[in-house]
Amino acid sequence: MDQRQLRELESRCIEENPPWCMAACPLHVDARSLCNRVAAGDWSGAWKVLLRTMPLPGILGRICDAPCRERCKRGEAGEAIAINELERACVSHAPPARPKSVMPARPEQTSVIGSGMSGLTAAWDLARKGFKVTLFEPGPVLAAELRERLAEQVPADVFDSELAMLTRAGVRVELNAAIYEDGFLESCRSDSAAMFLSLDALEPESWPLLQGAVASPAQTTGREGMFACGLEHGGSPVWLAAQGRWGASSMDRFLQGVSPSAGREKDGPYETRLFTSLEGIDPLPMVPLSPEGYDETAAAQEAGRCLQCHCLECVKVCPYLESFGAYPKKYAREIYNNQSLVMGARQANKLIDSCSLCGLCEAVCPESFPMQALCLATRREMVAKGKMPPSAHEFALLDMEFSLSEHFRLARHQPGHQASAQVLFPGCQLAASSPGQLRRVYEHLCANLPGGVGLMLACCGAPAHWAGQEARGNEVIETWLRDWRGLGSPPVIMACCSCRDIFRTYLSEVEQAFLWDALRDTNIRMEQAPDEPLALHDPCTTRHDAQAQATIRTVLAQAGVEVEELALGRELTECCGYGGLMANANPELAKEVITRRGGQSPRDYLAYCAVCRDRLAAVGKRALHALDLYFPEPGEPDPAARPNPGWSARRENRARLKDELLRELYKEEPPAMEAFRQIKLSMAPEVADLLERRRILIEDVQQVIHHAENGGDKLTHPEAGHFLASFRPYKATFWVEYSPAPDGYEVHNAYSHRMTVKTGARP
């Protein structure tokens, strides 16, 4: 990812766009933060929000006419927030200490003529920018006209306090200035590098030189260096203050010799791209206002109605995005920085490797931000550069290699046939979950579909593609194609939705059909539909597979099975935590994902993905595979209670299925079992759970013991009589504590690491 791609991605995440109220405010007061502070009773914090953008907040906070209310999102679900009343409640509290925040001193002398709201704001901003400022007041008291007009709203002591802030900032005030005398403006202009006319407190018709001059958006006049405003927007206090601010900015630009208008698109109200969903938001009226305004309790209640507008649509539905504490724009920057490192720790590796690649974020995002595409592209880049941590996805990749080995891979015509009209390719996980059920499905298809149904057992290569191992993924596809072409390239019946997704991406030449379409063609019948509705879970790999989603619902409806649609289903379905190899890179997060998914309905779940069903079962959720309704396990009284097989059993199930098929269907003797696999093991349930959590397979333990008992090193505990041995069958080293048992060995503990312990003399 280069800088251009990063900027394009960042621009598509709108979370940092301002809320509608802030964008609609001419001064861009952060009303969202103000409401947040007021709702919490933090009046000092609320004051600080105003001080960030509001000039003379003690005055303006009491007279604000709240043009932002017209764009308040709460107004679409009830009444708009009374932000002006909250500002008034805020400034009625004592202000916090105001730190002097003035830029370094500038040499230029500037003048502000008139003390209307625009002139006071211009003087305020110019002083804060470091300019020398002289404020000319025609009367004997600064802001006399404002004081008189606003006497009922703004107490005299507040005026005194706020205007004293101007003098403390360095503004020199000249009272009783003869601003209407002939030659005053010319003299003032000659003494100042730039000047500002506060027309909301002056009589511009008294100056012939201003006749016909109309202030532009940059507040310029017909005279160079002379700026003016204050006659527009019906005397709105907020607009007048904003015009004064823009005038000060124009003066600053003029004195720097830069464009008066470039980059000022967001001076004043503008459109924001921020999306805020109102789904599930109850309409609420404005909290009643007393003649004295809001007290603290009422103010907190009114501020509490604020929706605190954010987008975060993706974060709301994705535990992965939520768990890292930010949102896609920030994640994109973290990933970019992670990739840019030459040396040092790559802190974003876990972020990159934990994504399930399910695409729900893109589906719900108003701007279609593809977090999954970013993570996958980054994984590929890391693999290509040799920067992918080998442990991130290794377990899944080794499991894939097992499915591609002679222990599982198979490509045969239906027994008794020399050709195949179709071929069943169930993928690797249905066989791993329920091999007997898969065999009964195959036999049913063979008995009911004409022309012979071939069988292919293997992995589609999804783990390699998910891990960013594109070269290995393509090799898997080529191997699959050779096996398929060896059967005559028949149409493929597919049971696994992940395989269907991989085929749509990499094997579009292959004609495929969904298993449930094929089963429907055989007029499959269910003996008895469940008594209660089942909550239907769609695999995330069907997000763009509307055909599969529709087919399973049609088949179930025809059988009289009543299903409950989950809140997030079909194209908005959630991942089970297995996709994208999340369960390997971040097991804790993957468990949280499936636990949350399983908690969305009290009903038994129905899945049509074997991994989804097993992962639901692993967290204690009662779940059926759709095939359980048609091909139940013999003697299984409650298929929804069938436990998750676990990692070791999943491998054993695949190997056993192939052996049985070769021996019983194809009348062939399967390959001889390796010697270590003949070792019999026993262990307490808690030890079995430990191995499962640590992803240590039974065959890993068998290899360690076989190595130790055939000449390898082992340690002996003198009291317990246990042995401790290690073996490194690949990049991981396994340690096993065991002891002899009557029919094999008892396992007491096991762990693994990726260190290489070097032996030899010290240098």
Pairing between strand 194-198 and 109-113?
Answer: parallel
Bridging pattern class, strands 605-607 and 132-136: unpaired
What is the pLDDT at residue 344?
57
| Phi, psi dihedrals of residue 674, rounded to the nearest 5° | -60, 150
* CA–CA distances in Å: residue 519 to residues 202, 411, 513, 630: 86, 21, 10, 10
Output 388 or 77, whichever has higher pLDDT.
Answer: 77
Residues 252 and 120 occupy one common structural domain = yes
Provide the pLDDT confidence category of residue 256 given band limits of 50, 70 and 90: very high
The answer to whether position 665 is within a domain reads no
208 domain-assigned = yes
> Does 506 have pLDDT greater than 60?
yes
Give the pLDDT score at 732.
84
- Once rounded to an integer, what is the mean pLDDT over residues 329-355? 84
User: Do 154 and 236 share a domain, yes or no?
Assistant: yes
Is 2 within the bounds of a domain? Answer: no
CA-CA distance, 36 to 48, in Å (whole number)?
A: 12
Look up the CATH number of the domain holding residue 230: 3.50.50.60
Predicted pLDDT at 211: 52
Does residue 378 sit in the same domain as residue 400?
no
Please give the pLDDT value at position 238: 95
Tokens of 606: 């129905």
Residues 361 and 409 both lie in one domain: no
The pLDDT-based confidence of 763 (bands split at 50, 70, 90) is very low
160 in the same domain as 184: yes
Residue 681's domain is classified under what CATH number? Answer: 3.30.2310
State which of 331, 363, 384 marks the end of a domain. Answer: 384
Please give the residue that has the higher pLDDT: either 492 or 720.
492
Residues 60 and 24 in one domain: yes
Question: Which pLDDT does position 560 carry in this prediction?
Answer: 92
* Mean pLDDT of the 119-136 span: 94
CB–CB of 610/653 below 8 Å? no
- Are 680 and 738 in the same domain? yes
Report the alpha-carbon angle 217-218-220, nearest 5: 110
Per-residue pLDDT averaged across 365-375, rounded?
95
Render pLDDT for 597-615 as a digit per residue (tens, 0 to 9). 999 999 999 999 999 999 9
Q: What is the DSSP string of 441-504?
A: HHHHHHHHSTT-EEEEES--SHHHHHTT-HHHHHHHHHHHHHHHHHTT---EEE--HHHHHHHH
Does 538 lie in the same domain as 464? no
Q: Give the SS3 label for residue 748.
A: strand
268 within domain boundaries: no
Residue 286 lies in a domain: no
- Mean pLDDT throughout 25-36? 96
Beta-carbon contacts of residue 688 (< 8 Å; ≥ 6 apart): 646
**pLDDT tens profile 519-529:** 998 988 887 88
The answer to which of 344-358, 363-377, 411-425, 484-498 has the lowest mean pLDDT is 344-358
CA proximity to 95, closest of 127, 57, 146: 57
Q: Mean pLDDT, to the nearest integer, of 316-329?
A: 95
List strands edge to edge, sheet with 132-136.
172-174, 132-136, 109-113, 194-198, 226-229
Domain end, chosen from 603, 622, 644, is at 644
- Same domain for 415 and 518, yes or no, is yes
Is the pLDDT assigned to residue 249 strictly greater than 90? yes
Same domain, 358 and 400: no
In a domain? residue 276? no
User: Is the residue at 261 inside a domain?
Assistant: no
Q: Which domain holds residue 77?
A: 18-97
Q: Which of 287-291, 293-297, 384-388 has the lowest mean pLDDT?
A: 384-388
Q: Which long-range contacts (CB under 8 A, 24 or more apart) does 721-724 make?
A: 722/748
Mean pLDDT in residue range 230-247: 87
Domain boundary among 53, 73, 97: 97
Asked if pLDDT for residue 183 goes beyond 90, the answer is no
Going by pLDDT thresholds of 50, 70 and 90, the confidence category of residue 27 is: very high
- Are both 541 and 626 inside the same structural domain? yes
Residue 204 confidence (pLDDT) = 67
Q: Look at residue 761 and tell me whether its pLDDT is greater than 50.
A: no
Place of tokens 């505990």: 717
Domains in the chain, number: 6
146: pLDDT strictly greater than 70 = yes
Q: What percent of the chain has pLDDT over 70?
A: 96
Q: Kindly state the average pLDDT of the residues 369-377.
A: 95
Tell whether 552 is covered by a domain: yes
Q: What is the mean pLDDT of residues 678-700?
A: 93
Per-residue pLDDT, averaged over 194-212, amounts to 75
How sure is the predictor about 220, in pLDDT bands with cuts at 50, 70 and 90? confident
The answer to whether residues 574 and 696 belong to one domain is no
Average pLDDT, the chain: 91
Read off the amino acid at residue 577: G
Nearest to 165 by CA among 291, 58, 290: 58
Element (H, E) at 167: helix 156-168
Tokens representing 520? 């429907």
